[in-house]
Amino acid sequence: MKRFLALTLSLALALPLAACGGSGNGSTPAGGNATDVPAEASTELNIYMWQQYISDALIADFESQNNCKINLSYMSDNADAITKLTAGGGQEYDLIMTCDAYMDSLVAGGYVQKLNLDNIPNSSNINEAYWTAKDYCVPYLMNYIYVVYNTETCPIEITCYNDLIDPALKGQISTIDGARNLFPIALVALGYDPNSTNEQEIAAAYEWLTKYNDNVVAYGAAEQNLTNGTACVALTYDGNASWAMSELGDKNTLKVADFESDPVQLGFDLYVIPTGAKHVDLAEKFLNYITDPQVMAKNLEEFPYSCPNDAAVAAASESYRNDPARDFSYKENVFFQKDVGDALTIYNDYYQKLKVGE
């Protein structure tokens, strides 16, 4: 199951353009078009993405329609994808999934190809408000990171992030992981910019997270921990909350916390064509296929995350559109991850301290 933005990113994105191109290996330079790479019709497509994040039936359908073979490889966190992209990902993969927070750096570094959107007409179904670096990526799904809790077993009502460090919740929280998932939550709780580059503020967020850790019973698997009673509170993704609520069915007592003022994080998973990709024609066909409203609507039945494809949402089932996991009033009160530059090292240093319990 997807673990969105579990970032322990190296400084690879800081490398200059010369570090990744210009060696005569067939790579497309920064700003080049994906369609600048001539090739015969491809019969193989290599994709690097999160595991359990796309319907097997849709993969099989695309293979049948295009007489091709899709080879899926899986990443464990976003650092893996960035490493692939900055190390010449096009030599291995035709599509790589990454997140919105790093698109500016990936484009500036020449690690991703410019798309020919004329070959991806279904991309017009995507809400442009959710489309970062439009010429270089195609949004796939989006994820709210919020708090969900069991109204029958949780000892307190949760209306803000600071409630998560209440001693009454000791050993009761299942949480997502990752420096750039957790520190923004703490920064918001303290009244700071969730993308702060100020070391004193990041240090204060670390102290807040040590209190949060006292209440954590498990990292990951929020849907299982909520349904089996291991945890009564979870900081998780809307798709995972949806699974948990669906699993409980008529016995569901889970609720998305009604935050009074704190914003929630919203992030996007995107497909990019890496510089030097060998099967660009088939990659474009796949991007057009997955942005078809009917295709994505089927995908949403199996992976009920929020979706930036407005036409697909309209075509989705009533159960998806009325999912209680997306029934919260503050969807517009969100923040986005931004590239924090060299401060990422500070985040990662404090995150490692947090993980070892210093």
Domains in the chain, CATH or no CATH each: 44-141+267-317 (3.40.190.10), 143-266+324-356 (3.40.190.10)
pLDDT of residue 343: 93
**Residue 176 · residue 3 · CB < 8 Å:** yes
Query: What contacts 255, CB < 8 A, 6 or more positions away?
Result: 148, 149, 150, 151, 324
Helix spans in the chain (H): 56-66, 78-86, 103-108, 179-189, 199-215, 222-227, 238-248, 280-290, 293-302, 310-315, 318-321, 343-356
Residue 341 CA, chain-centre distance (Å), reads 19
**Local structure of 271: helix, strand or coil:** strand
| Whether 302 contacts 231, CB under 8 Å | no
Looking at residue 40, its pLDDT comes to: 67
Q: Which residues contact 210 (CB under 8 A, 6 or more apart)?
A: 354
Both tokens assigned to 68: 């091709």
Sole residue written with tokens 């030599």 = 91
Report the C-alpha gap between 71 and 169 in whole angstroms: 44
Q: How far apart are CA 81 and CA 92, in angstroms?
A: 12
| Cα–Cα dist 195/201, whole Å | 10
**Contact by Cβ (8 Å): 78, 98:** yes
Cα separation, 37 vs 221, in Å, equals 42
Token pair 């003022």 is at which residue? 261
Cα(337)–Cα(4) distance, rounded to whole angstroms? Answer: 12
Q: What pLDDT is stored for residue 178 in this prediction? A: 86
Tokens 């990171």 appear where?
145
The helix (run of H) or strand (run of E) holding residue 47 is strand 44-50
Concatenating the DSSP letter of every residue in 276-328 gives T-S-HHHHHHHHHHHTSHHHHHHHHHHS--B-SBHHHHHHS-HHHHT-GGG--
Give the tokens for residue 10.
């190296």
Token readout for 223 is 């849907």
C-beta of residue 49 within 8 angstroms of C-beta of residue 80: no
Task: Please tell me the distance from the alpha carbon of residue 333 to that of residue 80, in angstroms, as a whole number.
Answer: 30
Burial label, 252 (beta-carbon count in 10 A; 0-12, 13-18, 19+) = middle
Tokens for 270, please give them: 């995107």
- Containing 146, the helix (H) or strand (E) segment is strand 138-150
Count CA atoms within 13 Å of residue 96 on its CB side: 34
In a 3-state reduction of DSSP, which class is residue 348?
helix
Average pLDDT by stretches of 10, the chain with 358 residues: 39 35 33 48 93 96 98 90 91 95 90 97 94 93 96 97 98 93 96 98 98 95 93 96 94 94 94 97 98 98 95 96 88 89 92 84
